[in-house]
Amino acid sequence: MWCYGMTKLGIFSFGLLLLMVLAMGSCQKFEEYPPTPEIAFNDFALMVDTAGVAKKALLSISYRDGDGDIGLEQGDTLDPYQAGGEFHYNLIVKLFELQNGQFVAMPFVFNYRIEPLLPKDQKKSIKGIIDNQIDIFDPTSSYDTIRFSVKLIDRALNVSNEVITPAFVRQASQE
């Protein structure tokens, strides 16, 4: 029996071909990462004002996270994210100055709260870049070479690897 010019074998072959095309089109590889965030140094750029003084810098790190739970909402202020607590901030940046041939940790820490990168109810692998503006001007310091250590903490309190940036020279005024 003929069916609009196609045999049963022809219809079956066409259906099989269509099914294979649809199956191949839906085969996308999703990258999977561990649930603990991983970070890497990406870039560092001095932001020089009109007087030639670098008072701020843009620190850029790349990240990847297996469950996408990076970031804190403004309302995330109860334990363990309470003000003054160890996990109130989720991006920890420490400044070091090169003093007499040794990098010395400065007494102040640059702590930041990164906003959620995905809604809390979504769980999927993510990767990207976080750019963070940092105040680097210290008129009381006579040392011009600095570097930073950086860590990222997710909502499950997983702490990333620590990244140590290369050393950078702060520009001073040309007065």
> CA 92 to CA 16: how far, in whole Å?
55
Q: What is the dihedral of CA 72, 77, 83, 87, to 10 degrees?
A: -50
Amino acid 108: pLDDT: 80
* pLDDT per position as a tens digit, 74-108: 999 999 999 999 999 999 999 999 999 999 999 88
> CA 86 to CA 175: how far, in whole Å?
42
Cis peptide before 139 (omega within 30 of 0): no
Confidence grade of residue 6 (pLDDT, cut at 50, 70, 90): low
Q: Which of these ranges, 25-34, 103-112, 151-160, 165-174, has the smallest mean pLDDT?
A: 25-34
DSSP state of 6: B
Strands of the chain (E only): list them. 38-48, 54-65, 91-99, 102-112, 126-135, 145-152, 163-164, 168-169
* pLDDT per position as a tens digit, 34-88: 899 999 999 999 898 888 888 899 999 999 999 999 999 999 999 999 999 999 9
CA 126 → CA 51, 122, 132, 153, distances in Å? 40, 11, 18, 14
pTM of the model: 0.77
> CA 87 to CA 72: how far, in whole Å?
10
Confidence grade of residue 123 (pLDDT, cut at 50, 70, 90): confident
The ranges assigned to domains in the chain are: 1-30, 38-169
Considering only residues 124 and 25, tell me which one the structure prediction assigns the higher pLDDT. 124
Amino acid 24: pLDDT: 54
129 backbone dihedrals φ, ψ, rounded to 5°: -130, 135
- pLDDT of residue 29 exceeding 90: no
Domain at 38-169: CATH architecture: Sandwich (2.60)
Q: What is the dihedral of CA 169, 94, 62, 30, to 10 degrees?
A: 170
Q: Across 16-20, 105-109, 117-121, which has the greatest mean pLDDT?
A: 105-109
3-state secondary structure of 38: strand
19 backbone dihedrals φ, ψ, rounded to 5°: -65, -40
Encoded tokens for 51: 């007087």
Q: Which of these ranges, 6-15, 83-92, 146-155, 161-170, has the smallest mean pLDDT?
A: 6-15
